[in-house]
Chain A
Amino acid sequence: MNRINIVPRYLRKALAMLLTIALAMGVSMSALADGEVNVYNWEDYISEDALSLFEEETGIKVNYMRFTTNEDMLVQVRADPTNYDVIFPSDYIIERLISEELLEELDWGNIPNASNILGWLNSPSYDPDGRFSVPYMWGTVGILYNTKMVSAPIDSWTALWDEEYKNNVFMMDSIRDTIGVTLKMLGYSMNERSQEALDAAKDRLVEQKRAGIVKAYQVDETKDKMIAGEAAIGVVWSGDAAYAMGYNEDLAYVVPNEGSNVWVDGMCVPKGARNKANAEAFIDFMCRPDVALLNFEEIWYCTPNAGTIALLDEETLQDETIFPPQDVIDRCEFFQDISSDITRFNRIWLAVKSAR
């Protein structure tokens, strides 16, 4: 916070001018629209066009905020749920939020387009009565790899521990995903919570880091770095994989044989949201087949919207990265809420991140 005292006197005039402009801008910015909706969504997880279309059609101003991982979002929502009107948590976080009574029940009368959602997602295990969430997108966790940089096609999580790919692996800077795939590699369920399994996972992750295999722990950066050929292998979500493969034809995506995580991100309204009606209007808008199509074509995750799927061509529907075939889904599992055991996960994750 230190600044050296070499400030040109010339700037003083500029300052006076800026002052006038700023006052004018400040006043115009405080002018509120008729209504607003505070949306808290993942990075890179919506089409900007869909947002402006919503503002245009409804006159409701969207205050759009972004998060990187479920855990980051959960902290913020817990701190002040009334700060947000629509949030996009994953399945196990929805389960957590419901158990902490942090979600509003949705008024389905305001969300007629929810009828477009595929039937198998109407009463999912994380929201058994289907009262609190509307599915937004779903997908898998897998390995994105550069076919020109690996010796053989990859089909197992063990590739992430292969010395051959030293300094060539991007891991995910997301606690459940990374510990989850390690557990899977070790033959456990992704929801395993025994200390023995967790210690084993920690040891493998530390070993992987110390061996110099991990290039970086990151989330949203991976797709563009994979496109640029910065690494051979990256752990990614399926939509990021589909996006990256669209820009670099050497890239391939696989959901490893050991199995992986399948997830659903929903749209929910936190308890005490200030603009609940606007929030429901927003959710309804996102469920409109043409709008869901806009989002789909921007982020390439699997849409749960039957109306949107009907609009897709055969080639897209055959894309196994976007729409995983049944045998892939069969070897995947949902994350479950681990409630208080998260402290143990956190400690393991810190130990991995700080290992040298």
Chain B
Amino acid sequence: MLARRLRMTYLIVILTFLYAPIIVLIVYSFNAAETRAIWGGWSLKWYAELFRNKSIMDALSVTITVAVLATIASLILGTLAAIGIHSMRGGMRQVFIQVTNLPMMMPDIVTGISLMVLFIFAKVPRGYGTMLLAHITFDAPYVIFSILPRLRRMNKHLYEAALDLGATPSVALWKVIMPEIMPGMVTGALLAFTMSLDDFVISYFTSVRTANLSVLIYSMTRRKVPPTVNALSAIMFIVVLTLLLIQNLREVRAEKSKPKGVRSV
């Protein structure tokens, strides 16, 4: 249709739009001056200061620990639930599926507010713990919906065969079902982890005492964002960039080593 060059140009324009603000942040992270208004020469001081900034480091560790703990908990809860739901029939199954759908369809702000109201109702102080509970709640459906299709595609006679061959139900579960759903578990866990890392709205409503990075950055944008945040964005960007590039270079290499003629498109 359109000439390739034209299409490339379009993609590059959109990419520029997507990257412009990120590049600005990165450039300013090297600005020796404190304000954006002045360019004070190149400097690494904001990087050094970043690691000394207690509130940013605290928020970072909250973000990571909450994401990891929520991922583990939702993985356990969700895997069990998926196996359970898969073996259900009729109305019960519908109820479970709908309830699992609910937090995925509900707007974040409503999920956050309803949990906030629940915690206030129950007189639970909102902090690290409540944030974690909330994260598990919105993470678990992702795990379930990643595992269920795997269970559906599984040959259901495998499990019965294992039982016939003398395996106890728990052994059969461990040796037959688990390996089958493993890829789904991994996808689910990764989804849960990224959702949790990136969450702002639900954390904002469910925690007053503890701030994760998103909440901290939000409160900073409402007064003054210290240049250390620029350094933080630059580091985050480089980490993401490296991970994704390494991953893709590997794939490209794997692609090349495949026998010619096998197109995988």
Contact = CB atoms under 8 A, between A and B. Distances in A.
Given A15-B190, A29-B128, 13 more contacts: A5-B191, A7-B191, A10-B246, A11-B190, A14-B243, A15-B71, A18-B68, A26-B68, A76-B208, A220-B222, A220-B223, A220-B224, A221-B222
B194 A7 contact: yes
A224 B72 contact: no
A152 interface: no
Given A68-B222, A221-B222, A228-B37, A8 B191 contact: no
Given A25-B61, A68-B222, A10 B209 contact: no
B260 interface: no
A22 interface: yes
Interface string B82-104: 00000000000000000000001
A219 B187 CA distance: 43
Interface string B117-148: 00010010111100000000010000000000
Nearest to A225: B224
A66 to B, nearest CB: 7
B214 interface: no
Contact of A7 (B35, B71, B190, B219): B190
A29 B65 contact: yes
A148 interface: no
B148 to A, nearest CB: 15
Contacts of A319: none
Contacts of B72: 19
Contacts of B37: 228
Nearest to B124: A80
A98 B243 CA distance: 56
A247 B80 CA distance: 59
Given A3-B195, A65-B209, A44 B190 contact: no
A17 B186 CA distance: 15
B77 interface: no
Given A44-B223, A82-B123, A1 B108 contact: yes
A158 B223 CA distance: 27
9 contacts: A1-B108, A8-B243, A11-B243, A22-B65, A25-B61, A44-B223, A63-B127, A79-B120, A80-B123
Contact of A43 (B36, B120, B128, B223): B223
B116 to A, nearest CB: 9
B247 A8 contact: yes
Nearest to A222: B223
Contacts of A26: 65, 68-69
Given A1-B104, A7-B194, A83-B125, A65 B187 contact: no
A25 B69 CA distance: 11
A17 B209 CA distance: 27
B6 interface: no
B209 A80 contact: no
Interface of A: 1, 3, 5, 7-12, 14-15, 18-19, 21-23, 25-26, 29, 38, 43-44, 63, 65-66, 68, 76, 79-80, 82-83, 218-221, 224, 228
B247 A10 contact: yes
Contact of A38 (B104, B138, B209): B209
Interface of B: 35-37, 61, 64-65, 67-69, 71-72, 104, 108, 120, 123, 125-128, 138, 186-187, 189-191, 193-195, 198, 208-209, 219, 222-224, 243-244, 246-248, 250
A7 B197 CA distance: 14
Contact of B247 (A3, A9, A19): A9
A240 to B, nearest CB: 10
Nearest to B138: A1
Contacts of B209: 38, 63, 65
A21 B65 CA distance: 8
A14 B64 CA distance: 12
Nearest to A14: B243
Contacts of B250: 10
Contact of A83 (B36, B104, B126, B219): B126
Closest 6 A-B residue pairs measured CB to CB? Answer: A8-B247, A22-B68, A220-B223, A10-B247, A22-B65, A79-B120
A220 to B, nearest CB: 4
Nearest to B72: A19
Contacts of A22: 64-65, 67-69
B133 to A, nearest CB: 14
B139 to A, nearest CB: 10
Nearest to B219: A66
A178 B120 CA distance: 30
A280 B68 CA distance: 38
Contacts of B127: 63
B215 to A, nearest CB: 11
B12 to A, nearest CB: 20
Nearest to B189: A15
A82 B127 CA distance: 14
B224 A224 contact: yes
A80 B116 CA distance: 11
Contacts of B191: 3, 5, 7
Contacts of B36: 228
Contact of B125 (A15, A68, A80): A80
